[in-house]
């Protein structure tokens, strides 16, 4: 079936097939397309029955089409090797296409908090524009409230809940990611049933407003659960005392990313320096203050002061490399070594990792040795890396007898248990070597 004439202006809707390469994602699409269990099931369905529900698209310049509804179907079809997919073409304005895109996705069962937040914000912005009011004319009573009320009626959340979701869009990406994780979902459900069991910690700021010291996750969970008040403890705290309290309250969480630990430890270290705290009076006067603060931090975390120092070193990485550490694509000890290298060279390293998909400890070691002799350019760095990779590996063969190993482990330890212990000990050894 042929495509409708773009210039004819005819409104008749027909199902046609269009090449996947001519489809473009919606430019402000807030809904994630993940290769998760639901995507696997969708692929199975499409493989068995084909695409039963056509995509909704609108024409855009240069012969392409923008997807309004069907990003997941397009992705699944693409993974299955489809070259064409069935679509319905609709000629829509920018604002109408946003409304249609949001409405077609909001009623999905599994939508993350951040997806719903940005979807509500998109729809709210469009409704305000369509109302004909300029931002300078918007007050707190009529235009915004009306738009939110429309969203509330369409989506089933109360106007206040819609407002809460929209406010989430102001959070930094790292916090939004935390809101979307399964543990946050469990926390929201717990708060919905039992309320907030542990009070949040607040202090009064200079404007006589309450500032959150600890309990950010509980506060957001309460908002998402529809609560309007939460239990709180208010303390008089200086800026430095508040930072120390905030870090201590959060640092024990299991799901913390390396970057979160890094900046938390650095914040606490700087606050303790400002306080001028003498954390260990048995130490001699010749002990560096940096060591004293890291030892104090270590006492409350269960990690060695050297490991605290390593985490703090991560704050010297460029954001792109730090993201690789968080996503477990860059080894922690290698990242620590990179942190001693100039930021411009770090950018070259990131480009190398992006191109090759790896970086080896010996490559960074060789690079740092060369940098000790003076500055280098990017070409010289690549030459160093290539020489390390091409170097002939030493042939090594290592064998441990079962008798040698089993004497170090309890009788009920399986081979897998022993393997895990050995790997853990070797990891600690590597960390010690990187100091």
What was the pLDDT predicted at 202?
A: 85
Residues contacting 356, CB < 8 A, separation 6+: none
Same domain assignment for residues 88 and 117: no
> Does the pLDDT at position 36 exceed 90?
no
> Does the pLDDT at position 1 exceed 70?
no
Q: What is the pTM of this model?
A: 0.44
Same domain assignment for residues 292 and 340: no
Q: What is the mean pLDDT of residues 144-171?
A: 80
What was the pLDDT predicted at 20?
A: 92
Q: Of 261, 292, 315, which residue is a domain's last?
A: 315
What was the pLDDT predicted at 138?
A: 45
d(CA 380, CA 377): 5
Establish how many alpha carbons lie within 13 A of residue 104's alpha carbon, considering only the half-sphere containing its beta carbon.
19
**Structural domain includes residue 338:** yes
What was the pLDDT predicted at 82?
A: 92
**Structural domain includes residue 302:** yes
Contact 327, 333 (CB under 8 A): no
> Does the pLDDT at position 390 exceed 80?
no
Across the chain, what does the average pLDDT equal? Answer: 78
Contact 377, 345 (CB under 8 A): no
User: What's the Cα-to-Cα distance from 267 to each of 240, 271, 324, rounded to whole Å?
Assistant: 9, 6, 22
Confidence of residue 347 (pLDDT cuts 50, 70, 90): very high
Q: What is the mean pLDDT of residues 406-430?
A: 79
Confidence of residue 283 (pLDDT cuts 50, 70, 90): very low
What was the pLDDT predicted at 394?
A: 55
> Does the pLDDT at position 434 exceed 80?
no
Q: What is the CA radius of gyration of the chain?
A: 28
Higher local confidence (pLDDT), 171 or 156: 156
What was the pLDDT predicted at 367?
A: 93
Higher local confidence (pLDDT), 213 or 10: 213
What was the pLDDT predicted at 431?
A: 67
Same domain assignment for residues 117 and 230: yes
Same domain assignment for residues 163 and 208: yes
Contact 246, 238 (CB under 8 A): no
pLDDT tens digit string along 62-89? Answer: 889 999 988 989 999 998 999 999 999 9
Expressed as residue numbers, the domain containing 419 is: 402-433
348-357: which pairs have CB atoms within 8 A and are 24 or more residues apart? 348/378, 348/381, 349/321, 349/381, 350/318, 350/320, 350/321, 350/324, 352/381, 352/382, 352/385, 353/321, 353/324, 353/329
What was the pLDDT predicted at 276?
A: 65
Strand partners, 18: 85
What was the pLDDT predicted at 6?
A: 47
Confidence of residue 140 (pLDDT cuts 50, 70, 90): very low
**Structural domain includes residue 107:** no
Same domain assignment for residues 329 and 268: no
Residue whose pair of structure tokens reads 């002799």 in the numeric block: 373
Same domain assignment for residues 311 and 244: yes
Confidence of residue 141 (pLDDT cuts 50, 70, 90): very low
| Token representation of residue 72 | 């997941």
pLDDT tens digit string along 8-21? Answer: 444 567 889 999 99
**Structural domain includes residue 121:** yes
**Structural domain includes residue 40:** yes
Same domain assignment for residues 213 and 147: yes
Residue whose pair of structure tokens reads 């919606």 in the numeric block: 26
What was the pLDDT predicted at 293?
A: 74
Establish how many alpha carbons lie within 13 A of residue 373's alpha carbon, considering only the half-sphere containing its beta carbon.
7
Higher local confidence (pLDDT), 168 or 151: 151
What was the pLDDT predicted at 397?
A: 67
Higher local confidence (pLDDT), 193 or 139: 193
Pair type for strands 64-69 and 200-204 = unpaired
Looking at the structure of the chain, the number of domains it has is: 5
Residue whose pair of structure tokens reads 């030892």 in the numeric block: 295
Backbone dihedral angles phi then psi of residue 169, each to the nearest 5 degrees = -65, -15
Contact 348, 377 (CB under 8 A): no
Higher local confidence (pLDDT), 328 or 394: 328
Same domain assignment for residues 333 and 299: no
Pair type for strands 15-19 and 84-89 = antiparallel
Same domain assignment for residues 177 and 288: no
d(CA 425, CA 358): 24
Q: What is the mean pLDDT of residues 286-315?
A: 72
Same domain assignment for residues 323 and 419: no
Same domain assignment for residues 176 and 253: no
> Does the pLDDT at position 179 exceed 80?
no
Higher local confidence (pLDDT), 182 or 159: 159
In this structure, of 180-194, 314-328, 395-409, the range with the lowest mean pLDDT score is: 395-409
> Does the pLDDT at position 279 exceed 50?
no
Helix-helix angle 343-356:361-371, to 10 degrees: 150
Residue whose pair of structure tokens reads 């998909």 in the numeric block: 357
| Token representation of residue 239 | 């800026």
Confidence of residue 344 (pLDDT cuts 50, 70, 90): very high
What was the pLDDT predicted at 190?
A: 83
Same domain assignment for residues 377 and 419: no
| Token representation of residue 306 | 């050297």
């Amino acid at each position: 079936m042929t495509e409708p004439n773009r210039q004819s202006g005819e409104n008749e809707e027909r199902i046609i097939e269009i090449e996947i390469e001519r489809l473009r994602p919606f430019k402000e699409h807030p809904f994630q397309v993940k290769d998760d269990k639901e995507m696997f099931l969708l692929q199975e369905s499409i493989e068995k029955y084909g695409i039963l529900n056509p995509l909704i698209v609108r024409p855009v310049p240069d012969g392409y089409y923008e997807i309004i509804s069907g990003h997941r179907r397009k992705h699944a079809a693409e993974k299955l090797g489809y070259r064409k997919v069935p679509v319905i073409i609709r000629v829509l304005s920018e604002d109408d296409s946003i409304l249609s895109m949001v409405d077609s996705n909001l009623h999905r069962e599994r939508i993350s908090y951040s997806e719903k937040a940005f979807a509500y914000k998109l729809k709210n912005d469009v409704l305000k524009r369509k109302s004909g009011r300029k931002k300078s004319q918007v007050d707190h009573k009529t235009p915004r409230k009306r738009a939110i009320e429309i969203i509330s009626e369409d989506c089933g959340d109360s106007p206040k809940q819609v407002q809460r979701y929209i406010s989430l869009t102001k959070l930094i990406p790292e916090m939004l990611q935390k809101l979307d994780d399964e543990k946050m979902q469990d926390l929201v459900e717990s708060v919905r049933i039992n309320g907030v069991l542990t009070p949040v910690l607040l202090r009064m700021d200079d404007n006589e407003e309450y500032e959150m010291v600890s309990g950010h996750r509980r506060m957001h969970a309460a908002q998402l659960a529809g609560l309007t008040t939460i239990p709180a403890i208010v303390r008089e705290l200086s800026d430095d005392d508040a930072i120390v309290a905030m870090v201590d309250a959060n640092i024990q969480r299991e799901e913390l990313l390396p970057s979160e630990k890094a900046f938390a430890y650095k914040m606490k270290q700087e606050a303790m320096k400002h306080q001028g705290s003498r954390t260990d009076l048995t130490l001699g006067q010749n002990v560096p203050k940096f060591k004293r603060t890291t030892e104090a931090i270590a006492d409350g975390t269960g990690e060695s002061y050297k490991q605290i120092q390593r985490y703090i070193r991560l704050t010297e990485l460029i954001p792109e490399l730090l993201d690789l550490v968080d996503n477990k694509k860059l080894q922690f000890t290698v990242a620590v070594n990179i942190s001693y290298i100039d930021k411009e060279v770090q950018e070259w390293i990131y480009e190398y990792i992006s191109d090759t998909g790896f970086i080896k400890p010996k490559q960074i070691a060789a690079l740092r040795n060369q940098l000790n002799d003076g500055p280098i350019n990017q070409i010289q760095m690549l030459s160093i890396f290539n020489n390390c990779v091409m170097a002939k590996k030493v042939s090594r063969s290592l064998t441990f007898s079962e008798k040698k190993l089993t004497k170090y482990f309890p009788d009920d330890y399986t081979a897998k248990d022993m393997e895990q212990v050995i790997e853990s000990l070797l990891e600690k050894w590597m960390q010690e070597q990187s100091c």
